[in-house]
Amino acid sequence: MSAVFENEVVTQAHVRYLRVPGLAGELALITLDNGQDHTRPSTFGPGGLASLDAALDEVAAHSPAPVAIAVTGKPFIFAVGADLSGVPALTSAEDAREIAETGHRVFRRLTDGGVPTFAFVNGAAMGGGLELALHCRYRTIASTAVVAFPEVFLGLVPGWGGTQLLPDLVGIDAAVGVIVENALAQNKVTSGPRAAELGIADVVLEPADFLERSLEWAAGVLAGEVTVSRPEVDRSAWDDAIARARGIVAARTRGASPGALRAVELLDLARAGDTGFTAGTAAEDDALAELLMSDELRAGLYSFDLVNKRAKRPAGAPDRALARKVTKVGVVGAGLMASQLALLFVRRLEVPVVLTDIDQARVDKGVGYVHGELEELAGRGRLSPDALNRLTGLVTGSLSKDVFADADLVIEAVFEELSVKQQVLAEVEAVVSAECVLATNTSALSVTEMASKLEHPERVVGLHFFNPVAVLPLLEVVRAGQTDDATLATAFAVGKQLGKSCVLVADAPAFVVNRLLTRFLGEVTAAVDAGTPVAVAETALDPLGLPMTPFELLSLVGPPVALHVAERMHEAFPDRFGVGEGLRRMVELGKTSVFSEPGVIDPELVGIESGDSPLTAAELRSNAERALAEEIRLMLDEGVVQAVQDIDLAMLLGAGWPFWLGGISAYLDRVGVSEAVTGKRFLPRGVASLPA
């Protein structure tokens, strides 16, 4: 097993014995520390579990016997779970089962050791780290700590007792929320105070003197001065909570995630409580052994690696040293998208941001939107009064572009019409400095054409944000035909400051995400135009496990935007991209959805499926998958991105493609479509799948 995890950064379990006022004997404190700073959190591989096992052996042999054992972590980190670095090299279910059983055995020692045990959760506790804490009898938590079970997000299950211990501690409904609902909501974490409210922790303490206060609290518990009461778990709530969990899994994965389905089964087993714990953990062993040897889990780890490594070092980005400092930002336009951009810039950069538009009413509305959003954040306690006043003062509006004279970056977010954008950029260029970067938030137009009439086209770059701006983490950085390295480096630096994950894309029609989504949706709308019932088209792609159905996606994007991009793509590639008549009709009628109510086609849209060549669900799904494979291969051949990994990263972060699918290319490889359409896989076997 150690050979599989040969690159493990081993988390050492360091033991020391403390005399705590109020205790008759010593307390054994185990500190988990992998020797790295907080950017490399402590994890448990075979070496880490062996170290904890040895530490517990030492404590058991210590004389005199400690009166209690406490476990804590290094600064900012408790522990973040299993070390998954060696998983891609696992080749047998036996090795996978050994990982599961070892974790259970070692952690169980904290429950069965014969002395009270405490977890001092001083920082992030994720996955196996949280499971370790749950095996302890009592838990303190820092107000700044966060906890989560990310396993289902990756296509796995909590496998070291989490599915059995958490429901028995906080109740089944709260456990479903943490293990299933939060994981499938883009891995939402739970704050320390909220964890205490749920009952995951017994007390919240401030971080400044967290260890000292935790030791005092533990001494109070052991002396009987502090009483820890836990409400009895309502076993009658199980059926409703499990039904809710199944509904969440169906809605968010279309039933296509094996990990999510297994997690619900395991939670259902936990209704037996302590009496069923052994059977429940044995079922966890079975689930881990199977899921660790699944393509879906390997795909999930590939996704995780893309988001946590490749996104932090964007492929093709110029030297960071070339980036220019941005001390003021201009936003051309004051509509919703422009206002969202202004809010993001002022919150993240904390520099003056000025909006312009064609009349005072629009300007006032845009500035008012930003001010209102800042006030709402302050009202929720996310901005202090001083920060609110400072940021509000930084956002202003004007009717004149002269206010951009001292700006270092100006981004336009006006109507998607090439001539309008060319005119706007020319007007801005006339007043800004020679060093000012000019950016466009276009979703489909050519940035090169946009810059072609400028005196200095080399300073123009595309910054394609996704709506809603504050939520979606992707930023497509578009290098136009003459964009220079300093401009591009500044774009990447600003993107990082904004908290976005940047992907470098070439100036090709619709770039990456919109191009693929348009091709994908085009197959759906064409099928409906041909007579495929909307109800069939709505569910045909469920096996892909996407978080939204095609028509939910269409409503989110907005039919006018979808039509604009479809028309642009049809101009560029008429043989592959059509413009659906049903889509045109929706836009003409001002419809935002195909449905007037769930499952009911809008009466004014009845008839859009009146063609005489309907497809079955399987035929439509096949067409959509083949279209995606063809388009990805063409994009790679055209050099739109540096590698297929950038397409996967973009689809994960910009289109919400499920982590456990491993990005779009891994899915197409797994179902055999890549080879059938293009003659070869996008990724080598073993990269986002089981080894060959």
Mark 358-384 as b/e (b = at least 16 C-beta within 10 Å).
eeeebbebbbebbbebbeebbeeeebe
Set 26, 101, 131, 296: catalytic member: 131
Spatial distance between the Cα atoms of 690 and 178, rounded to a whole number of angstroms: 29
Structure tokens of 512?
């990456």
Name every residue whose Cβ is closer than 8 Å to that of residue 532 and which is 6 or more positions away in sequence.
609, 611, 614, 615, 620
CA distance 438 to 434: 11
Nearest to 688 by CA among 655, 674, 474: 674
- Helix ranges (DSSP H) in 596-686: 617-638, 644-654, 663-670, 673-678
- 509 DSSP 8-state letter: T
What DSSP state is assigned to residue 352? -
CB 18 within 8 A of CB 29: yes
Instruction: Return d(Cα 465, Cα 451) in angstroms, integer.
Output: 19
Asked if 417 is an active-site residue, the reply is: no
Q: How far is CA 57 from CA 12, 66, 104, 322, in A?
A: 14, 12, 16, 54
579 conformational bin, left if phi > 0, alpha if psi -120 to 50, beta if neither: beta
Which listed residue (26, 101, 151, 296) is catalytic? 151
Residue 44 pairs with which residues in a beta bridge?
A: 82
Q: Is 151 a catalytic residue?
A: yes
Work out the widest C-alpha separation in the chain, in whole angstroms.
Answer: 85
Q: Mind giving me the DSSP string for 284-314?
A: HHHHHHHHHTSHHHHHHHHHHHHHHTGGGS-
Q: DSSP secondary-structure letter at 579?
A: -
Two tokens at 666? 């891994």
Q: Which two tokens stand for residue 113?
A: 């050791």
* Tokens 């980005």, residue located: 317
Point out the residues that are catalytic: 131, 151
